[in-house]
Structure formats: C-alpha cells, structure tokens
Amino acid sequence: MLSENALKVLYRLNQAGFEAYLVGGCVRDSLLGQVPKDFDVATSATPEQVRHVFRNARMIGRRFRIVHVRFGREIIEVTTFRGGHDTEMAERHSQQSEEGLLLRDNVWGSVDEDALRRDFTVNALYYSVRDFAIHDWTGGLEDLEHRVLRLIGDPDLRYREDPVRMLRAVRFASKLDFTLAPETESPLADCAPLLLQIPPARLFEEVLKLFLSGHALSTFQGLRRYGLFAMLFPGTEESFAQLSWAEKMVEQALINTDERIRADKPVTPAFLYAALLWPATVAQTAQLIDEGIPPVPAAQQASQQVLNRQLQHTSIPKRFSLPMREIWDMQLMLPRRRGKRPYQTLAHQRFRAAYDFLLLRESAGEIASGLGLWWTRFQEASETQQREMVQKVEQGQDDLVGDDDTPESMPMPSRKPRRRRRRRAPRDGQE
C-alpha cells in the first residue's frame, strides 16, 4: 500500500546521509487497513538540501517551508524536522501573534522534537526504511488501537497556535470514526472564535476538506456541536433558528454529497456553497421584502449581501461564486414555464445543477412538491409532449404545480403570500 515514489524519496535521502521517515496520514491509514492517498516524508535535511538531492523538487511556502518532489502526477511532500520554540534559533525563525497564533515556524530540530510538533498522536507515527519499523514518541499506536484522537501537548495552547487544528480535530474524528480525547474536546467551544483570526482564503480550502471527504454530514454535526460552524457560516447558523426547513436542507445536501463521493461522482464547490448559503439568502430575502422591496429585487439583493458577508469568513473564488449565483438565479427561472422560457431554461448550462437544487429544496420542505416533477417529465418528454405541457401551463391546466406565479416558486420562507405580488405587470402577452 506504500507508494513506490515515496519509498524512493526515503532511500535517496538515507543514501545522502540524512534521516528520513514516512509520517502522518499515510502511516496512520496503512495501519488502519486503508489505502493512503497522500504520502509525507519528514527528514533531517533542510529544504535546500532536499532540493540538492532531487532535481524534480520545488520549494513552497513561507509560513512553513516545505518541498514538493514530483513524480509525474504524484507529489511527495517533504518537510524538515521541526523543533521547539524555546531556543535562540526559534526566536529568529518563528513568529507568533499576540493571541498565540503561529505566523511562521521554520525552526529545525530532531525527529523526536518533530513528533511533539505534530497535531495528533495518531498523526505522529514514523516509518523508517532503515529498520522497517514504526517509531512512536507520543503514544499514537495505543490511541490508534483504542480509536482515540488526542492532541499533542496543551490543547488550549495548540489551538491558539493554529485554530485550524479545531477543524482538523472534527474532520479526523468524523473521517476515522474516532472519539475525541476529553482534554482535546473540552476547549473547542471556548476556542471557536479563534477561527476568526484565520485568513478567509485558508478557511475556504479547509471547508472543502471538511465537506468533500465523504463524511460531510457527521463533520457538519460535529462542527455545530462545538460552535465551529457558526464561525465559518454565521448567516447560515442564524437561519437555522428562523427557518424550519433550513437545517434539513443543509443536511440533505451533505448526505447527497457523501453519496456522490462514495460513487466516485464529481462534486463542485459551487453547488456545495449554494446549498450552505441558501438558507441565509432566503432569510435575508424575507427581511428585504418586509422592508417593502419587491420579491425578485429582494432575492437579488439578498444574494449579494449574503455573499459579501460570507467572504469575510471564507473566500469563494469567482470560478465557484459565479455558478453558485447562477444556480440561485435559476430558481426564479424554473417556475416560469410559458412560451419559449422552458426551452431556454432547459438549454441553460446550469440547468442540471439548478434542477437538482430545486429537488433539494422540495425534499427539505422549503417549497411544495410538484415543480420538480414537472421538470423531470419535461426533460424526458418528446417535442410534442413538451409543447402540450407548456400549453397546459399557459391554459392554467397544469395539475402538478398550477400557475407559474405561485408564491411557493419564489426563494422566500414559508409564509402567507403578500398581496403586492398580484400587481405585477402581465407577461408574455397574457391579459
């Protein structure tokens, strides 16, 4: 189960006179009988020395300097043993914020010091090709046997050094089906606000790891349990108390995500974020409507306001935020099924994602069922049958949904329809 290229790196570093070990998730997963996806190497060689040994190496990172050794599509990540922060060298090569956040950590040390700098004991297991043995300086083998996830060192201090460790704790516990050690778990709720110190770009990457690992639902439940989800998606957390269907919708979206990953189907962050932020958008839309803004402009303004707020917590690259907005916008297009509109909607590049999103909304109980079934049949129908379906809508004879201006078609919380909607101008020549 070990990568041949990772073993090449170990042997070549050893031949060059350096210590080198496989470390982290690849060792942990191998011992658990799982197939590792990534291989990390820890070594006594400095990044410059690693680059000298491997011509196919590239140094990256400023906060933590690491080396990527590339073999075709496979990348072996090589890091130098890190030491403690109580030496003169540490003062020159590490930096912390006033809150204890580790801003820079390029202090080299020995392998046993490196083990103490790792996050969890089960991630601090080292495999050597010198003796073909597992080396354990933190009790990781025992924790692995008992399926316990334990943070190395003082949890409060370690969380302050890097608050993302809290997200990793929840993610690994969910992924491995491990129990958090009591001392690892207890500070989580109090330390949750520390996540606000982390750059939004880094948290975007962490969100993808949290929800695209195949264990999104249990991870979501863990994040909420410790108040971490509210630090990542504050608007969505607030909407759970306002909308009866909101939590169910997010959970169903995550269940669907897990199923697609297990089936080896693609999952786009655009759809994930569309589902995670939709409840906040609906709640904000309702507030703007209450302030007198018509429904469609209210929905559009709410979308932008929710996105702007979210970007303060997790960045969303435009390659994902733009299709996310299109999925949302098409929720206003799908109910409009007169004339040429259904054909134009069906031809839209985001139709499939928007259609799936509509089904998700219906399954959560946000809107009444019917529209999703209409679009299901419309996709499967012949051209003649499609024309007949559109004619029924135009004649008010659609037995699945009814009129395409029903309040349930709008992105608003379940509430009585506002009378102002009847004053909208006639469309498509309808009198």
Q: Catalytic residue numbers? A: 38, 40, 119
Question: From the centroid of its chain, how far is CA 309?
Answer: 17
* CA–CA dist 268, 172 (Å, integer): 22
- The answer to whether 78 touches 9, Cβ cutoff 8 Å, is yes
Q: 6: which 2 tokens?
A: 């990772």
H helices present in 291-346, as ranges: 295-310, 318-333, 341-346
Q: 267: which 2 tokens?
A: 């999952």
Among residues 418, 390, 400, the alpha carbon closest in space to that of 362 is found at 400
Using alpha carbons only, give the angle 13, 35, 225 rounded to the nearest 5 degrees.
Answer: 110
Crossing angle between the packed helical segments 216-225 and 246-262, to the nearest 10 degrees: 140
CA–CA distance from 61 to each of 69, 160, 191, 200 (Å)?
Answer: 14, 21, 26, 17
- The answer to whether 91 touches 102, Cβ cutoff 8 Å, is no
CA–CA distance from 115 to each of 42, 76, 166 (Å)?
Answer: 10, 19, 19
| DSSP secondary structure string for all residues of 338-386 | STTHHHHHHTSTTHHHHHHHHHHHHHHTSS-TTHHHHHHHHHHS-HHHH
- The answer to whether 179 touches 228, Cβ cutoff 8 Å, is no
Question: From the centroid of its chain, how far is CA 239?
Answer: 19
